Amino acid sequence: MSTRAPVPGGDARSCSGRARRAAAAWALTVLALSAAVQSASAAERSDSVLVRVDPGSTPTERVALSRALDAEGVRPLVAGWRAYDLPEGVTLAEARRLLAGEDAAAAVELDGRLRPSEIPDDTHYGLQWALPRIGAPAAWDATGSAADVVVAVIDTGVQTTHPDLASRIWQNPGEIPGNGLDDDGNGRVDDVAGWNFHDETNVVYSAADGDSHGTHVAGTIAARRGNGAGVAGVADNVRLMPLKFLKPGGGYTSDAIIAIQYAVAEGADVINASWGGETYSQPLCDAIQLAGDAGVLVVAAAGNGGADGIGDDNDAAPSWPANCPATNLVSVAATTPSDGLAGFSNFGAGSVDIGAPGQDVLSTIPGNAYGYKSGTSMAAPHVSGVAALVLGMHPGLAPWQVKAAITGGGAAVPALAGVTSSGRRLDLAGALTVAGTGIGPDTTPPDPFAALGPVDGLATAAPGPLLFSWAPSSDAGSGVVSYRLVVGGATVATTGPSARSASAVVGDGSHIWTIAAQDASGNVRHTAPRVLTVDRTAPTAPALRAPAGAASVPGPMVDLAWGASSDAVTGVASYRVLVDGVAVATAGADERSARVRMGRGSRTWQVVAVDGLGNQAASPARSVTVTGTVPALGTPPAVRGLALLAPARLASGRAPALRVRMPRAMRVTVGVRRADRARPLATFRVRARAGVTTVRFPRTARARMRAPGTYVITARASAKLRDSVRITVGPRRR
């Protein structure tokens, strides 16, 4: 006689192996069991934050990032993401404020909680109606020669001693049971039959935790068939790899990610993910895509709607990871015994792939018993079992091909038309037939996608490699396998499919660049071309013409002349005239002379050529003796261009003493950037009068110049009226 299964519930924070929070997490769990929390609140808090660290950041910047969060620990994840453990919970807005000034933080997310996708039910409807519905009995005779396939059950724990599961449990070939050693060197001691990522132990089943959900899922996939007792699983060629990360209060996204990485590293062929949440997680989707790169299919439950118990449209309100854009992921809705869409099941014409039995499903539960459960959690393992049989019969298939066999071989049912992408319900015989007759070649390029940065038309003088970024592409056929950065027709960098950026050294000049996405069949899609101008080279130094060296000239107004400079990339933008090392006049790119005021006596003068990006070249200083009388005070010198005046060095935290000299009153745009980076840190506008105006820096601009280093300050009033200076910020003296 079947017993009814206890159901994991609630959405309270789990302790995830973190002893310092165990008591508080357990109290929250108990309180939360009485309420179903189905949507992420805008004020959701977490004591773990996920940060994608800029690959170009320095060790000092990474340490500063950790200090800004007051992190107590950090764990590396995938694609540059790291999980930072905090002493107390923060909201996403609070986390972003803490990291606002940290250059190393490229993206920030909360480490959201995930939960099982199971709907509790008190009704019994007989035995295993689902197996004949998907055509399993008729197809089993054709799968007797199926090779063994490893299916990772990433879920709650699994009762590995259950009589219908004990012979199906995966055994780690690199571990010696019970010797207390990490024999295979993967950082986990005695992970003989899986791992508990929630508590960081090798105990994958706990009666105290219930672990009914994972045990039920495991039985649907691979309960022993033909033993005269219990229930039958979909596939008898499966070795189940129990990977526990959920408890009654849910589990951390970061633990799910690490479990996926473990499954891939230990040789899983299929991953069953009967859980989800409403908060998007880029690193979780990255982990699934990386699993696909390694040849692993991921089967995910589509989700069970909101607190009203009615299924939602995943196209409008996504559920994760079911909505992750990975070609190795199959998203599964739940169907009824009459081939209808279960009322609790999520759906989506563009985001849910197929339906499978998920209502009143009989399977194994703890205590060597059997029970009914309903939910998309119960639908997904039917698909995982079919995937295992398809792979067992056709071991060479790629994940996208297994997915194509499952969706293409399903039985068309009216209730799934327009609410799933295939309009079909799972069918084992159909999937085996499609896989056996061959899946046509993929001749379609990846989907269109866009470059993000640098912006089109950017001109930069930043030294070192430049960072290029793009939005992800997708490919419903063989899947995106790589991205290439193409500059001037040549590939300068290649990344994996989960990457969203690449760095490359680009030489001086004007370049056309694109990003190329390539799928496993060699089809390529390019982004729209963009133009990038790089100019790190100073113009040629101007040659001084008159007065001649050591000449005597009448004052106070002295006429100076020089020869033209040249710049091959951005051109000469202006000339700056210095008397005794101080800028006294700025001339346009087409001007070769200036009249400046000089006091009586021996003076030196020189001319600095400035190109369009602020690179400078100075002529040698030339001496001149000025004769005549000093004019009356109050006669201002003639100003012909825009000139910036600033100290060369500045103590950290001090406001820059910046002045701008203008020929007439105009609005001036002031920009601040680090000398080694192209992206501006701050931009603001000031109203400058004719003559000299003191520029007051906004608080945000001052804050972003606090870190030691060299900064470039630019001022621009028009195409011809512009100038730039460099300021080196050092530590404040105590």
Catalytic site residues? 155, 213, 377
Q: Specify the 3-state DSSP secondary structure of 429.
A: helix
DSSP secondary structure, 568-611, as one string: SSS-EEEEEEEETTEEEEEEETT--EEEEE--SEEEEEEEEEEE
Crossing angle of helices 399-408 and 376-393, rounded to 10°: 110
Cβ pair 513, 487 in contact under 8 A = yes
Virtual torsion, Cα 222, 224, 226, 227, nearest 10 deg:
-170
Beta strands in 642-681 (DSSP E): 643-645, 649-651, 658-662, 666-674
DSSP secondary structure, 153-208, as one string: EEES---TT-TTTGGGB---TT--TTSSS-TT-SS-TT-TT-EETTTTBS----TT
Alpha carbon 406 to chain centroid distance?
30
Rounded to whole angstroms, the Cα distance separating 333 from 341 reads: 8
Rounded to whole angstroms, the Cα distance separating 54 from 560 reads: 49
Q: Which amino acid type is present at position 414? A: P
Q: List the one residue out of 426, 2, 1, 31 whose CA is nearest residue 212.
A: 2
Q: List the one residue out of 163, 157, 121, 130 whose CA is nearest residue 364.
A: 163
Rounded to whole angstroms, the Cα distance separating 69 from 89 reads: 11
Task: Tell me the β-bridge partners of 625.
Answer: 552, 602
What would the two tokens of residue 283 be? 């690193």
Cβ pair 101, 109 in contact under 8 A = no
What would the two tokens of residue 314 be? 């995943």
Burial 176-195 (b: 16+ CB within 10 A, else e): eeeeeeebeeeebebbbbbb
Cβ pair 146, 269 in contact under 8 A = no
Crossing angle of helices 376-393 and 212-222, rounded to 10°: 40
Cβ pair 351, 315 in contact under 8 A = yes
Cβ pair 389, 432 in contact under 8 A = yes
DSSP secondary structure, 29-85, as one string: HHHHTT----S--TT-EEEEEEEEEPTT--HHHHHHHHHHHT-SEEEE-STTEEEEE
